[in-house]
Amino acid sequence: MRTMFDGVTASNLPADAQMVAGYLNGKYAWSAGDWARFPHAVKIGISVRSNLYVGQVLDVEDGDATATGAVDWVRHRRAAGADPTVYCNASTWPSVRSAFRNAGVAEPHYWIAKYDRNPALMSGAVAKQHTNTKGWDQSSVADYWPGVDGPTTTTTEEDEDMTTTAPAGTNEHVNLFVKGKSQLYLVTSYKDTLACHQIDFFKDTGSNPAGDGTGGGFMNVGIDPNRPGPLPIPAGAVMCTIRYTASHAWGIGVA
């Protein structure tokens, strides 16, 4: 069994944590610099929005995704080649499971919150968040977590499928893992408007929020809808942050 830490403020987590989970979107989205604090940790990306098909885990709780939204998110993540997990409280777990059964969709893996300070995993769950503090939460994790550890017991972000959909919005942003990838694709319809205000890449080490973790990012990139890429990903980049304005949902992919 392994130990994982997560929290809304990355700097509160133990710097030597071997597994960390952080937010890819929402009010408490981690910056690329936040992720860079843990160069040697297994990293688990959490989405709080069921219409953003990113990460390994969807957060189902009040103010975040719903049980119904989880079904849609899991479908999309599986279509992208991922093996997804849903996080929820022990008290709402039965309703989440019912949502999948009622929809006729195979259940995902589960990370369950039950603050009893007992690290023993619950039957049917791959991880358990058992301790809550002001700075961070602590979870016990199975020795093998499908979708996080990949097809073997070795975890790399390279195994994570990075095809996703970004929602329409003004001055929105999306974070994604790009480790081991060389090209970034931005895909939109010729009828849609997409303006990328800034695209920054970051290494595992260094946490400069200006985007120069790898010597600089793409600044004020203009996207031709008929030529959506690819854009080169700098060697050694691990994280990418894209800030944009879009009239419609659009696609992001890496290869």
pLDDT tens-place string over residues 141-176:
998 888 888 643 223 344 444 566 677 778 776 767
CB atoms within 10 A of CB 210: 9
Edge to edge, what strands does the sheet with 164-166 contain?
164-166, 250-254, 183-187, 231-232
Q: Kindly list the distances between the CA atom of residue 98 and the CA atoms of 66, 76, 91, 92, 95, in Å, as whole numbers in the listed order.
A: 12, 19, 13, 10, 5
Instruction: Give the pLDDT confidence of 65-95 residue by residue, as tens digits.
Output: 899 999 999 988 888 778 899 999 999 999 9
Exposure class string for 85-117: b at 16+ Cβ within 10 A, else e: bbbbebebbeebbebbeeeeeeebbbbbbeeee
Which domains, and CATH codes, for the chain? 2-141 (3.20.20.80), 162-254 (2.60.120)
Q: Report residue 75: phi and psi, to 5°.
A: -60, -50
pLDDT grade for 206, boundaries at 50, 70 and 90: very low
Task: Give the C-alpha separation, 47 to 23, whole Å.
Answer: 6
Give the amino acid at 17.
A
Average pLDDT rounded to a whole number, residues 27-39: 85
213, two tokens: 């973790």
Pairwise CA distance, residues 235 & 143, whole Å? 31
Phi and psi of 180, rounded to 5°? 80, 0
**47 phi and psi angles, rounded to 5 deg:** -105, 135
Q: Are 234 and 218 in contact (CB under 8 A)?
A: no
Helix and strand tally (H, E) in the chain? 3, 16
Q: What is the DSSP letter of 5?
A: E
* Lowest mean per-residue pLDDT among 13-22, 119-128, 236-245: 236-245
* Helices 67-79 + 93-103 axis angle, to 10: 60
Angle CA(98)–CA(101)–CA(105) in degrees, nearest 5? 130
pLDDT at residue number 208: 39
Does the bond joining 209 to the residue before it have cis omega, within 30 degrees of 0? no
As a whole number, mean pLDDT of residues 42-67 equals: 89
Q: How far apart are CA 77 and CA 155, in angstroms?
A: 18
Q: Are 50 and 65 in contact (CB under 8 A)?
A: yes
88 to each of 57, 160, 228, how far by Cα in Å? 10, 22, 37
